[in-house]
Amino acid sequence: MFDSLANALPHFRNTNSGQFFLMAGPCVIEGEDMALRIAERVRQLTDKLQIPYIFKGSYRKANRSRLDSYTGIGDETALRILQKVGREIGVPTVTDIHESGEAALVAEYVDVLQIPAFLCRQTDLLLAAAKTGKVVNIKKGQFLSGEAMQFAVDKVRQSGNEHVILTDRGNSFGYADLVVDFRNLPVMQRFDVPVVMDVTHSLQQPNQASGVTGGQPALIETIAKAAIAVGADGLFIETHPTPATAKSDGANMLPLDQLEALLVKLTRVREAIR
C-alpha cells in the first residue's frame, strides 16, 4: 500500500487517515506455509476493507515462563520466512527484538523493530533499534503510565530516528491479570506518534501457577471496539488458524476465520466516530 513504511507513518495517524491500520499475525513464526497462509488471508481482508496492514510474527520468543516453553524454529529460518512474507505478500513486517545486538541483524529482514513491553526502558535496546533507521514500535510497559512513554519516544528521536509507534498492551492488575486504561491512548497520541492498541496481549492472564499464560479471547471484540471508539490509530491482533494448537499464546489469540467479521464491525465503529 505504501512504498516506504517510514514515509507512510504520518498517514497512520487518525488525524490524516480515514481508517485504522492493523498489525496482525501469529504469536511466533511456526513455519513458512502457515506464515504465508495467514499473511495472504489477512492481506485479502485488509485490501477489501482498505485497512493498511503490517504482518506480525516473532522470530524468537525470549520471554517464556518455563524453560521447556516453545521459543521458535531457529533465528535465521524464521527471519527468512518474515522476509519472504514481506516480498511475496507485499506487506510490511514487524518482529520483536530483546537485546541490542539483535537490532542490526533483524533490521535486514523486517520493516519494523518491536520493543517488548518489559524492555521499553532499556536504553541500549532503544538506541540500537533507532540507529537502524527502521520504524520502531515500542510497547508500553505493563508497569507504566501513558505519560511515562514520552521518555522512550525521546530516546529514539534523540538518536536521529523520527519513525516511532507506541503500543498499549494493558497494565498489571494484581499478580495474574491485566486491565486496559483507555486514557493512555489519547495521552500517548500527544507525543505525535501513531498509537496502537494490542488487543490480544491486553487480555492475557500471566503468571499462572501452571507456568502457561492464560487469556480471555471472548473479550477481543470488546477491547477492539473500545479502542477504535477512543480513537486508536491502529490495532495489534494475534491470529492463528487454530489457536488451540498454536505453539505460543494460543489462550488469547483470535481464530483466523473470525477476523473478517471483527474487522467489518470495527470499520463501522470507525466510520461512526468520524
Pairwise pLDDT comparison (230 vs 274), residue with the higher score: 230
- Whether 212 shows a pLDDT value over 60: the answer reads no
Question: What is the per-residue pLDDT for 1?
Answer: 39
Which residues are paired to 95 by β-bridges? 113
Which residues are paired to 117 by β-bridges? none
- Whether 74 shows a pLDDT value over 60: the answer reads yes
- Whether 149 shows a pLDDT value over 90: the answer reads yes
Domain boundaries, given as residue ranges, for the chain: 5-273
The rounded distance, in Å, linking the Cα atoms of 244 and 246 is 6
User: Distance between alpha carbon 79 and the CA centroid of its chain, in Å?
Assistant: 17
Q: Which of 66-75, 106-115, 197-206, 218-227 has the lowest mean pLDDT?
A: 66-75
pLDDT band at 250 (very low <50, low <70, confident <90, very high): confident
Q: Which amino acid is at 187?
A: V
Q: Which helix (H) or strand (E) holds 22?
A: strand 21-25
The rounded distance, in Å, linking the Cα atoms of 174 and 133 is 38
Question: What is the per-residue pLDDT for 2?
Answer: 46
Q: Which amino acid is at 83?
A: Q
Rounded average pLDDT over 87-94: 97
Question: What is the per-residue pLDDT for 129?
Answer: 98
Rounded average pLDDT over 155-180: 95
Q: Which of 167, 184, 255, 182 is nearest to 222 (CA)?
A: 182
Question: What is the per-residue pLDDT for 66?
Answer: 62
Q: Which of 164, 173, 66 is nearest to 115 (CA)?
A: 164
Mean per-residue pLDDT over the chain, rounded = 91
**Would you say 239 and 25 are in contact if contact means Cβ atoms under 8 Å apart?**
yes
Structural class in CATH, domain 5-273 = alpha beta
pTM higher than the cut 0.75: yes
Q: Which amino acid is at 69?
A: S
Question: What is the per-residue pLDDT for 3?
Answer: 52
Q: Which of 93, 21, 89 is nearest to 57 (CA)?
A: 93
Give per-residue pLDDT as tens, 21-43: 999 999 999 999 999 999 999 99
Rounded average pLDDT over 115-120: 97
Question: What is the per-residue pLDDT for 155?
Answer: 98
pLDDT band at 166 (very low <50, low <70, confident <90, very high): very high
- Whether 101 shows a pLDDT value over 60: the answer reads yes
- Whether 259 shows a pLDDT value over 70: the answer reads yes
**Would you say 256 and 38 are in contact if contact means Cβ atoms under 8 Å apart?**
yes
